[in-house]
């Protein structure tokens, strides 16, 4: 009898551990070998390896998913739907509320997988981990990643990079867009206190504005920016959620309370043709 009880306890612990691994929102730095899936031989080695499974944490690694200083740029992929919304945070390292809000969304999706039903959500909380660690807008090579895209309006300036997509962080974003062909992109920034948009995203911007109270403002597509690249050149709806400067030190709970509704609207509307 005692042996049966002990066996039941061991099995219960094993199943509980397996269940936790699927939904865990917080991972240690560095890819877990169980999460990394080998890329098919047909895909170029320079591309980021991202494999989507329903509500499972997936690690993106490789040349396109490592910062200049070797820090991992992590992505979390939820759902298997054909329409993808790409959520991007932390492209500027001196905008700390951006990755925090994206992490809050990541955690919320892990706890409420029904939200992604019929769609796919790709969340990248921190695109510029070197800048975040240093508290700087630019990356470790002093390049503004949001001016480093291959756009028709790009200007040749030192802080915009030696050439388009010269930085591993911006190449990673371009790889994501190529792989997933997202139906919409949401980029979280600070500190302009508005909902900006590029491309055919006016309705999405208005819905997000209603959900969080920030006004819609058309700021215009900057030279070499993600808005110019995705919204203007590729005609992908892209919304830039500009949080206030005053929320920089807010935690996940406070940011989610005020702006989580806008993030959920972005996910919800992505499933609408």
Element (H, E) at 76: strand 76-78
Q: Across the chain, how many H-helices and E-strands are there?
A: 7, 6
263: nearest Cα among 188, 194, 180: 188
Distance (Å, rounded) from C-alpha 79 to C-alpha 59? 15
Distance (Å, rounded) from C-alpha 189 to C-alpha 92? 8
> Catalytic residue at 242?
yes
**Exposed / middle / buried, residue 18 (Cβ in 10 Å: 0-12, 13-18, 19+):** exposed
Q: Point out the catalytic residue in the list 103, 242, 265, 273.
A: 242
Residues in the chain: 273
Distance (Å, rounded) from C-alpha 132 to C-alpha 148? 18
Contact status, residue 169 vs residue 127, Cβ threshold 8 Å? yes
Q: What residues are annotated to the active site?
A: 242
């Amino acid at each position: 009898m005692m042996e049966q009880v002990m066996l039941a306890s061991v099995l219960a612990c094993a199943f509980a551990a397996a269940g936790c691994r699927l939904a865990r929102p917080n991972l240690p730095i560095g890819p877990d070998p169980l999460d990394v899936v080998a890329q098919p031989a047909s895909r170029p080695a320079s591309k980021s390896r991202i494999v989507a499974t329903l509500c499972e944490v997936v690690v993106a690694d490789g040349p396109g998913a490592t910062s200049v200083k070797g820090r991992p740029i992590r992505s979390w992929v939820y759902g298997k739907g054909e329409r993808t919304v790409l959520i991007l945070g932390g492209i500027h390292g001196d905008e700390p509320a951006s990755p925090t809000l994206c992490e809050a969304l990541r955690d919320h999706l892990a706890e409420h997988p029904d939200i992604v039903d019929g769609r796919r959500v790709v969340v990248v909380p921190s695109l510029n981990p070197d800048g975040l660690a240093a508290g700087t807008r630019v990356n470790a090579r002093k390049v503004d990643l949001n001016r480093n895209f291959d756009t028709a309006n790009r200007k040749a300036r030192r802080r915009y990079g030696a050439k388009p997509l010269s930085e591993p962080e911006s190449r990673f974003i371009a790889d994501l867009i190529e792989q997933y062909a997202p139906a919409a992109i949401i980029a979280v920034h600070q500190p302009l206190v508005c909902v900006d948009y590029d491309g055919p995203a006016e309705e999405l911007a208005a819905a997000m504005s209603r959900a969080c109270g920030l006004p819609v403002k058309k700021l215009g597509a900057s030279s070499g920016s993600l808005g110019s690249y995705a919204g203007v050149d590729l005609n992908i709806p892209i919304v830039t959620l500009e949080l206030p400067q005053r929320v920089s030190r807010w935690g996940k709970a406070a940011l989610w309370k005020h702006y989580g509704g806008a993030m959920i609207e972005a996910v919800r509307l992505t499933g609408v043709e």
